[in-house]
């Protein structure tokens, strides 16, 4: 299976890396991804809602907002490996010590928190899906987004994850804090292809979303990127 698609626009956020120029400088420097506890500015979200958001959700909504040039109803796919793990851990700690937990916190701890809030904030009733596929969550989300495209229907793809709480470090790699979103379309000449057949190409040692951003901003990279699950993304 080979499917062509167009990236009409994209956005990414990590601590200290906000705009395309930041990501281009990062790609050329080969510097490690910055790490701190900062969160993106989400002043475009009403204050009552904003106060309830976790850092993870703020990242997801920030990149989704930046990736869509013109607001329009469209299906969306939100992918994350760990989702709201920080909020869930806080709730478990609270329950262990107080034998109770915040109803609001509990309602915002589900894996589709970001996708649901995006739909509500943008008053967009279009179909939305939340995906968790372990280390392959990025390409699983991209695949789901691409196969949903039709000539008349664009798709918003959002990937977000956060370094996991230290209590889980003995059992899992710490991960990265990163948000990526892309407005995908079939309505223009396809600039990229997604192929399910394993093939030759560039295998990066980085996390898939970081490697994909490098693939987008650094044209010196090979024309085909191979993800951890064997799917190949190529420039056309």
Residues 47-100 pLDDT 10s? 989 988 999 999 999 999 999 987 789 999 999 999 888 888 888 888 888 877
The reported pLDDT for the residue numbered 90 is: 84
Confirm whether 190 is domain-assigned: no
Q: Is residue 96 part of a domain?
A: yes
pTM: 0.91
Q: Is the pLDDT of residue 109 over 80?
A: no
Q: What is the mean pLDDT of the chain?
A: 88
Residue 164 and residue 134 in contact, taking contact as beta carbons nearer than 8 Å: no
pLDDT digits (tens, 9 = 90+) for 14-43: 999 999 999 999 988 878 888 888 999 999
Q: Is residue 222 part of a domain?
A: no
* Average pLDDT for 191-202: 73
- Mean pLDDT over 119-132 rounds to 93
Give the integer Cα–Cα distance in Å for 137 and 111: 13
* Residue 183 φ/ψ, nearest 5 degrees: -90, 110
Q: Is residue 55 part of a domain?
A: yes
- Domain assignment present for residue 198? The answer is no
Looking at residue 201, its pLDDT comes to: 64
- C-alpha to C-alpha distance for 178 and 84, rounded to whole angstroms: 13
Domain membership flag for residue 224? no
What CATH number does residue 179 fall under? 3.40.47.10
Q: d(Cα 81, Cα 175) in Å, to the nearest integer?
A: 9
Residue 233 is assigned to a structural domain of this protein:
no
| Residue 228, domain member (yes or no) | no
Total structural domains in the chain? 1
| pLDDT of 199 strictly over 70 | no
Report the C-alpha dihedral over residues 83, 18, 146, 175, rounded to 10 degrees: -40
Tokens in use for 231? 């799917």
The 3-class SS string of 152-212 reads CECEEEEEEECCCCHHHCCCCCCCCCEEEEEEEECCCCCCEEEECCCCCCEECCCCHHHHH
User: Which domain range does residue 33 map to?
Assistant: 10-183+205-217
């Amino acid at each position: 299976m080979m499917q062509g698609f167009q990236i009409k626009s994209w956005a990414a956020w990590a601590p200290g890396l906000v705009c395309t120029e930041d990501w281009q400088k990062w790609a050329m420097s080969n510097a490690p991804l910055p790490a701190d506890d900062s969160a993106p500015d989400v002043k475009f979200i009403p204050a009552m809602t904003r106060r309830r958001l976790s850092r993870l959700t703020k990242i997801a909504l920030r990149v989704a907002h930046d990736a869509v040039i013109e607001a329009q109803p469209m299906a969306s796919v939100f992918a994350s490996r760990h989702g709201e793990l920080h909020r869930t851990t806080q709730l478990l700690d609270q329950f262990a010590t107080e034998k109770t937990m915040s109803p609001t916190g509990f309602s915002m701890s589900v894996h589709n928190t970001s996708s649901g809030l995006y739909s509500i904030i943008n008053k967009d009733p279009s179909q939305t899906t939340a995906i968790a596929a372990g280390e392959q969550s990025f390409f699983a989300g991209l695949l789901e987004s691409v196969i949903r495209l039709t000539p008349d229907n664009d798709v918003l793809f959002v990937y977000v994850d956060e370094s996991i709480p230290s209590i889980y470090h003995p059992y899992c790699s710490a991960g990265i804090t990163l948000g990526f979103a892309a407005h995908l379309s079939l309505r223009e000449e396809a600039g990229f292809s997604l192929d399910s057949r394993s093939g030759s190409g560039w295998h990066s040692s980085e996390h898939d979303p970081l490697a994909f951003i490098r693939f987008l901003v650094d044209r010196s990279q090979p024309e085909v990127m191979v993800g951890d699950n064997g799917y190949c993304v190529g420039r056309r």
